[in-house]
Homo-oligomer: A and B are copies of this chain.
Amino acid sequence: MAEVRVPQAVRWASAGAALEIIDQTRLPENTTYLRLGSAVETAAAIREMRVRGAPAIGIAAAMGLAVEMGRLARSGVPLGAEAFQEAHALLRSTRPTGHNLSWALERMRCAYARCAGAAAAEVVAALRAEADAIAAEDRLACRRIGELGFELLPPEGATVYTHCNAGALATGGIGTAVAPIYVARERGVPVRVIVGETRPLLQGSRLTAWELSQAGVDVTVVADSVAASLMKEGRVNLVITGADRIAANGDVANKIGTYGLAVLAGHHGIPFYVAAPVSTIDPATRNGGRIPVEQRDAAEVRQGCGAVTAPREVAIANPAFDVTPAGFITAIVTERGVLRPPYSAGIAEVAGQGEGSRPLESG
């Protein structure tokens, strides 16, 4: 079967003078594209989660930085270190938890450093090429994660539970957690997907269900708190989620709710897999306790869908992520191999493979 068709979350527009994203806050009702012509516009789109998913954020930030340098060059502003650093810092400040953002921006910094002193047009071209490479490599990584993850599925088919969106919309390709499902679809292996809606922003029901159903995958949406009883009833064969940051010891920060799913999967004897590109691994973060967890605005819970869903006078806690200790994770699927516990050595190895050519760490 031909390769599955998936939406492209981020792409160039206006011959590289802008990037264009699907506004993910408006799905599934409206498929709207937003043109981002500056670092300020890109940063706002990332902060407002119009583009989200750790790999897609990294790609968008890299493209946004190239776009900004192009914009400054067209205005005659010299592309000095200060201008670069300002745009870099703005984009870097948008979301604190995911690692791909700082990783991609660090690659852009190296690309910029490599062409220091060149003419503006050359600098802009080099930055565009680096952003292109980041996107292209992510696309390949997703495909490879899909192939490797597919091997973990029972050959006769399975019911996979996933959370949030680690699909095409979160990446430059066919996703991470969702990639093995797309590969199964291409190869005619029946995979049924159950996705938790993923409150408060409903990336599971709005995004994952949308892109899977567009690709003809059998998908069912449940409220997040249904997962436990489905596991008890034997209706889930395995759980796969993505990751926003993987620490050196294998602890995984991912969308809030992931840790609970991991504990529940463990309790019910169900494998719990994490799928992510190596760019999500942060070898400089020793363990999950050192990963900053973004707290998002109370309004996401209080008026999540437009309606008043909690009283104005009541406190809200809205952490966007949680940390799953490595001990709950059956395997971590990367494009460079499937890692098994204990993770430290395998993580150091896959993260180190690219170090000669590409910086895989950031401070």
Q: Taking beta carbons and an 8 Å cutoff, which residues of A are in contact with B?
A: 28-29, 194, 196-200, 202, 205-206, 209-210, 213, 218-230, 232, 256-257, 259-260, 263-264, 267, 301-302, 304-311, 313-319, 322-323
Contacts and interface: CB of A to CB of B under 8 A. Distances in A.
Nearest to A228: B260
B223 A196 contact: no
A317 B257 CA distance: 19
Please give the count of copies of this chain that the complex contains: 2
A225 B220 CA distance: 18
A209 B301 CA distance: 13
Contacts of A307: 29, 305-307
A218 to B, nearest CB: 8
Given A226-B256, A229-B260, A322-B228, A221 B315 contact: yes
Contacts of A227: 260
B221 A316 contact: yes
A81 to B, nearest CB: 40
A311 B314 CA distance: 31
Contacts of A28: 308, 310-311
A267 B263 contact: yes
A218 B315 CA distance: 8
A329 to B, nearest CB: 15
Given A196-B225, A221-B316, 13 more contacts: A197-B199, A197-B309, A197-B310, A205-B301, A205-B310, A205-B314, A209-B314, A218-B315, A227-B260, A228-B259, A228-B260, A229-B260, A304-B305
10 contacts: A28-B311, A202-B309, A221-B301, A221-B314, A221-B315, A222-B318, A223-B224, A229-B319, A260-B260, A305-B305
A134 B117 CA distance: 85
B322 A229 contact: yes
A210 to B, nearest CB: 5
